[in-house]
Amino acid sequence: MRNSFLPYSLPFVGEEEIAEVVDSLRSGWVTTGPKVKHFEDAFAAYVGARHTIAVNSCTAALHTSLAALGIGPGDEVIVPTLTFCATANVVIHLGATPVIVDVDQDFYMSAEAVCRAITPRTRAIIPVHYAGQACSLREILVLAGSHGIPVVEDAAHAAGAEYEGRKIGTHGRAVCFSFYAIKNMTTGEGGMVTTNDDALAERIRLLSLHGMSRDAWKRYSEAGSWYYEVLEPGYKYNMTDIQASLGIHQLRRLDGFIERRQQIARMYDEAFSDLPEIVSPPRLPGRTHTYHLYPIRLRSGLLQLSRSEFIEELRRRHIGASVHFIPLHRHPFYRNRFGYKAEQFPVAEELYPELVSLPLYPKMSDKDAEDVIGAVREIVLNRRRITSRARVAQIEGGM
């Protein structure tokens, strides 16, 4: 058994990031400045988007995108139940109604499920690229297009992911990324909106900084002037140069990070392939999986322990694990406010008690991954339920 605790996730921050942050601190540009602009340009080039607006979280990115699309009271926004609360909370912040729909066995919200949820009040659809793999976006885009409904992608997990040969970042009307501590790349806290829509980009930029008619930082630079106008009551969502210092170097490392995540995922896929009790996350055609998460389905019916006991057994072996996610419809606020019932979400209800996210991040060594594999196999083999076929084999073997 390993001696030190292996957390389920950790960021990788290199010396270049540290030096760049120190440089920002020494330069005096500690808030939004030239490094944010540099990071936005680099991210735009990376995903191939015309516009990028750096903000201080993916939650802020989603909120401003929906606000810029004019979403407000009386409007409905379709979201999947298997996501982080931020995807739906931002809809509530705007006084609109999140319409929560079930996911499929592959973890994603299908176009069919979206279609059933569309009403004359639907004003946006937020598909989530759960775990770092794109959902079946094409079908959703076609459906949304036929109704004239904008798609705002929740790409919190999907920086660097590809779909139909293109980086996630330009398929939907607006795409929202997270650079939270343990995401595919990090700025500590941070986010980005990407879009090819000129007018929308302008409105998102305006709303992300108080609704002011020009960037605050330009007011104090040599090229700037002191004058600005508030055109709308916007938000205080700007990214700082300290955050962008991290982002510039994390973006350079992103493809390498993803490659390492994919290597570890392959080790897990192989190691668990002979265990019917463990179902590895699905890899869907036409897209790359960045493995922000490695959510297994634990077939606890085949085991003599529950999901919680499994996580506890991992912890006893000094290995962290987590669950992504408690479905939205189960949270008291959403259940009580909208009266959601478990029966409306049969697939998520089947998935949720089985989900366990195993440690997977670029900082992990092969030895760390082998420790995870060893612990999972040991728990499964020790606590395997004797199936009737195995029992028959035992009896036939004279045991």
Ligand X SMILES: Cc1ncc(COP(=O)(O)O)c(C=O)c1O
Least separation in angstroms between residue 61's CB and ligand X is 8
Nearer to ligand X among residue 33 and residue 80 (C-beta): 80
> Measured from the CB atom, is 113 or 193 closer to ligand X?
193
Min CB(265)–ligand X separation in Å: 18
- SS3 state at 329: helix
DSSP 237-272: -BPPHHHHHHHHHHHHHHHHHHHHHHHHHHHHHHHH
Counting DSSP H helices and E strands in the chain, the numbers are 14, 12
Q: Is 367 a catalytic residue?
A: no
59 touches ligand X (CB under 6 A): yes
Residue 58 as a binder of ligand X (CB under 6 A): the answer is yes
Question: In Å, what is the CA distance from 313 to each residue of 13, 306, 347, 375, 378?
Answer: 30, 10, 26, 8, 10
If the CB atoms of residues 40 and 154 are measured against ligand X, the closer one turns out to be 154
Residues 154-193 that bind ligand X (CB under 6 A): 154, 156-157, 178, 180, 191
CA–CA gap between residue 32 and residue 289 (Å, rounded): 32
* Continuous segment of H or E residues that includes residue 55: strand 51-55
In this chain, which of 83, 187, 243, 288 binds ligand X, going by CB under 6 A? 83
Catalytic residue among 183, 218, 236, 341: 183
Residue among 191, 169, 170 nearest 235 (CA): 191
Q: Give the separation between CA 257 and CA 104, rounded to whole angstroms.
A: 28
Query: What x-and-dash track marks residues 118-137 binding ligand X by CB under 6 A?
Result: ----------x---------
* CB nearer ligand X, residue 237 or residue 310: 237
Q: Does 57 bind ligand X (CB under 6 A)?
A: yes
Min separation Cβ 234 and ligand X, Å? 18
* Closest by CA position to 152, among listed 88, 84, 97: 88
Cβ proximity of 184 and 258 under 8 Å: yes
Name the strand (E) or helix (H) holding 77: strand 76-80
Q: Which stretch binds ligand X (CB under 6 A): 152-160, 230-238, 264-272, 351-359?
A: 152-160
237 sits near ligand X (criterion: CB under 6 A)? no
Select the residue interacting with ligand X from 21, 86, 321, 379 (CB under 6 A).
Answer: 86
To ligand X, the closest distance from the beta carbon of 191 in angstroms equals: 5
208 in Cβ contact with 274 (< 8 Å)? no
Compute the least distance from the CB of residue 177 to ligand X, in Å: 8
Residue span binding ligand X (CB under 6 A) among the ranges 23-31, 81-89, 107-115, 337-345: 81-89
What are the residue ranges of helices labelled H in the chain? 15-27, 34-47, 58-68, 86-93, 111-117, 137-147, 198-208, 216-220, 241-272, 307-316, 332-338, 346-351, 366-382, 388-396
87 binds ligand X (CB under 6 A): yes
Task: State the maximum Cα–Cα separation within the chain, in Å, rounded to a whole number.
Answer: 90
- CA terminus-to-terminus distance, the chain: 31
Of 191 and 327, CB closest to ligand X: 191
Q: Which is nearer to ligand X, 114 or 375 (CB)?
A: 114
The catalytic site residues sit at 183
Applying CB under 6 A, the residues found at the interface with ligand X are 57-59, 83-84, 86-87, 128, 154, 156-157, 178, 180, 191
